Structure 1
Amino acid sequence: MQLDRTQAPDFRTIESVQFPTPQVVTLDNGRPLYVVNVGEQPVVRLEVLFEAGTWHEQTEGASFFTIKMLTEGTKNFSSAQISGHFDKIGAFVDLSHTPDRANVMVYGLTKHLGSILEMVSEMLQEATFPEKEFNDLRNITLQNLRINLEKNAYVATHQFKKHLFGTAHPYGRSQNEATIKALLTSDLQNFYHQRIKGRPFRVFLSGQVGEKEIALVNQFLGQQKTVESILELPSREITPQTEPLWLEKEGAVQSSIRVGRRLFKRQHPDFYRMIVANEILGGYFGSRLMKNIREDKGFTYGISASLVPMRQEGYWVIGTDVKKEFAQVTLDEVQKEITSLQNELVPADELEVVKNYMAGEFAGSLNTPFEIADRVRLMVLEGLDVDFYSNYIQRLRVVTAEEIQNMAREYWQWNELQRVIVG
């Protein structure tokens, strides 16, 4: 039977997903291990996560460089030997850093988990922060920063966050040459001892794993004694700026626009209503902002609206890049679309399309064990309910047009939104 390509295939809406429950194991030292045993391929991802982000540093910049230097030398291995160790077993190392935390993540074959853990344990307990490697990393970071500072989009994003939170707050702070140049290896060693070596951590193990792999984690990471840091955190006062910022850049052809405000975390009762409202305004390719500013006006290749919930705070932002001469009219059109949502109910067919799209996108984001583990990690770190993702689609489905209008009226008043334009 030949397929009739003139007929669209049948479809059905996604009403729910089965979100797997992680296995929670307590290691011998009392640290938690979260296991996501999903997948048909013999691959594994190990994550060891510390409360060691910008939020926890005494010296500005120390947290970023400390986590990035963990593979640059230990008591028993040089940088080249560490790199060679992971290369030999085909493992990939990702050292990530956020304002809230730091993460050591390694991907590899399940059969090599013991070798992975052996080196990770060495990095977490015996890092030495050699001077040459630190200078090399600092020079690379400075060069990347100089390149980024020439990009309007980079500058606009960082100026926007500084506008929301202030330069003293971890969420408003960004890298700068002066603090990078002032850092010493002793600053990194201090942060390492304050926040990583012998400090509490969480472990996430995902992929094709079982009792043997759990035992290996306990063997290498469960025997390390940990104690809480006794250092007090510096003040985290938020000092926002309220006036719009127009930052001129000589010779710039385009302007990068950021519009938004501080908002809430995932635990807030308006979270689900807000993500649906955001999707309609600018969250996907068929959104109102895309139809207006990209398709109808031709001002930009893309414009998006996003919720960015973090551990302590959150924010909402609209971002786009347009020709300089279109900057003000783009802002006017953004305001027009927001006003429309405040004054008119979203039609039922548009709301249904958006809900179906969001349900499909969510279901599609759970295809691999590592994607599932990402969700598990977020639930654990942000203290979300165990049914947060199991009931995710149902909670989207019940959002009404009236609730979306209320969200637009309560959170998108134009005179309360921060505006940053660079270009």
Structure 2
Amino acid sequence: MIDRLKGPSINNDFDLTIRNLKSAVLSNGIKAYEVNNGTQDIIKIDLVFRSGRVNETKIAASKAAINLLREGSSNKNSQELAYLFDYYGCSIKLSAGIEYSSVSLVCLTRYFDKVWPEWLNMVIEPAYAQEEIDKYKDVYSQKLKHQISKNEVISYRIITEKLFGESHPYGYNTQPEHIYNLTRDDITDYFKNNCKLDNSYLVLSGSYNENIRSAIFDDLGNIHHKSSQTTNPFFNPEPIQGTFKIKTQNDTQTSIKVGCLMVDRHHPDYNKLKFLNTILGGYFGSRLMKNIREDKGYTYGIYSSFDGWQKGGSFYIGADVGNTFIEPTLKEIYKEVNILKNEPVTNPELDMVKNYILGQSLHLIDGPFATAQLVKSLYATSQSIDTFERNVAQVKAITSDDVLEIANKYLHPERFVEVLVGE
């Protein structure tokens, strides 16, 4: 009989090797990565551009250039494209990030011949019709107005601006007027300079046959586009400390952000910092959640985040609290940071966090689409599959002494920036 009083044993001795990944180079030099081991006849095509907000010469142009791709091509207008993709049950996803952008197509393989030519034409020869640009500006400027009325959004925008600087690619904030003032030339210039095939790579995943593979490789390989990519100047932000209070009309709660600058994702300490962040506030069982949510009841949710970009990074703790709990919450935040710096992590907690991170890593390679997403993000940030496997090994090897050392090396509360948005 099963003893229900005992939990199941924990086993982290499982394989986290990425398998069934193949790579190729198209005739025009584009690199392609394939995860062709799906169980259903579905294909996902990701075309990834190594460009994003860091390459803008006009604020908001990168997101507009990507999001407007589906609004018409040299062959079809926006309604015709929408009808075609909807009729054949396709999913189109457009993503414009800080350092890279992507355009994705998911479709049944039996309809590949119907949708692939039009999807490719949409990506290669977008129309950028003025009517669609005007609609985009109206919709997205209104969306942004709504978003930046929220305390939590405002506090995030303020802390990144204070940490990096309002002119830094990681620090400046898009305003509604930036979107509204975009011109067609701003958008087409960004596309011509940054979204050409010589600045891209291809990721195929799912289950597809050789005919589909050949069609994709031949069609893309015969296109010879050259970009003239620009990159915004990066500089080392000047250290800044202090408390910044922003009063808003949403005064029933205050959004707290506390943080500092951190290392980039290529730094040798990156994985140890991710581990430290997980202990502090990176998952539901974290110390901040147990103390400030479960024990004190100051907030419904509190978390910490470590964002490591290619040329910089930031660390911050965030929570929305009632106005009477602002000071007690800040006190407990600093208390937990100081405990990490002064008391070794116990072996049970160390093992718990390791198992959590390894479990999350297992999800990243659970099936062809998840694996393709991992491959996509790794190569977009100048990493490789070896990086993932090396990260797993480093997590398994982390000790309590490592956590203590990293906490004392990087967490200096006297250097933190505090942002309070609300009352």
Contact map agreement 2:195 2:227 (CA 8 A) in 1: no
Contact map agreement 1:169 1:238 (CA 8 A) in 2: no
TM-score after normalising by structure 1: 0.94
The residue type paired with residue 219 of structure 2 is F
Shift of 1:141: 0.6
Output the CA distance in 1 between the equivalents of 2:162 and 2:350. Answer: 33
Which is further off, 83-92 or 166-175?
166-175
Output the CA distance in 2 between the equivalents of 1:198 and 1:283. Answer: 37
What is the match of residue 164 of structure 1? 163
What is the match of residue 310 of structure 1? 309
Shift of 1:388: 2.4
Which is further off, 142-151 or 14-23?
14-23
Output the CA distance in 2 between the equivalents of 1:110 and 1:73. Answer: 24
What is the match of residue 4 of structure 2? 6
Shift of 1:385: 4.8
Contact map agreement 1:261 1:317 (CA 8 A) in 2: yes
Match of residue 233, structure 1, among 231, 234, 239: 231
SS in 2 for 1:105: strand
**Pair 100,338 (structure 1): closer, same or farther in 2 beyond 3 Å:** same
Where do residues 5-404 of structure 1 align in structure 2 (5 Å cutoff)?
6=4, 8=6, 10-15=8-13, 16-20=15-19, 22-197=21-196, 199-229=198-228, 232-240=230-238, 241-404=240-403
Q: Deviations over 1:159-217 (max 9, x none)?
A: 11111111212211222122222111121122222222565311111111343332121
Shift of 1:261: 1.8
Shift of 1:266: 2.9
Tell me, yes or no, if structure 1 residue 421 matches structure 2 residue 420.
Answer: yes
Task: Give the paired residue count.
Answer: 420
Output the CA distance in 2 between the equivalents of 1:355 and 1:26. Answer: 37
Question: RMSD between aligned alpha carbons?
Answer: 2.0
The residue type paired with residue 260 of structure 1 is G
**Pair 177,266 (structure 1): closer, same or farther in 2 beyond 3 Å:** closer
Contact map agreement 2:363 2:370 (CA 8 A) in 1: no
Which is further off, 42-51 or 380-389?
380-389
Which sections of structure 1, spanning at least 5 residues, go unmatched?
none
Q: Deviations over 1:117-141 (max 9, x none)?
A: 3122211232121111111111111
Output the CA distance in 2 between the equivalents of 1:383 and 1:392. Answer: 15
**Pair 80,58 (structure 1): closer, same or farther in 2 beyond 3 Å:** same
Shift of 1:365: 3.4
Shift of 1:348: 1.5
Output the CA distance in 1 between the equivalents of 2:227 and 2:337. Answer: 47
Shift of 1:69: 0.8
Output the CA distance in 2 between the equivalents of 1:251 and 1:88. Answer: 43
SS in 2 for 1:20: coil
Contact map agreement 1:168 1:237 (CA 8 A) in 2: no
Shift of 1:114: 3.4
**Pair 136,357 (structure 1): closer, same or farther in 2 beyond 3 Å:** same
Contact map agreement 2:302 2:319 (CA 8 A) in 1: yes
Q: Deviations over 1:24-47 (max 9, x none)?
A: 111111111111113212222111
Output the CA distance in 2 between the equivalents of 1:217 and 1:196. Answer: 18
Shift of 1:4: 4.5
Output the CA distance in 2 between the equivalents of 1:370 and 1:27. Answer: 22
How high is the sequence identity, in percent, across the aligned residues?
28
**Pair 346,9 (structure 1): closer, same or farther in 2 beyond 3 Å:** closer
Q: Deviations over 1:75-127 (max 9, x none)?
A: 22110011111111111111110121221111222233333331222112321
SS in 1 for 2:319: strand
Which sections of structure 2, spanning at least 5 residues, go unmatched?
none
SS in 2 for 1:403: helix
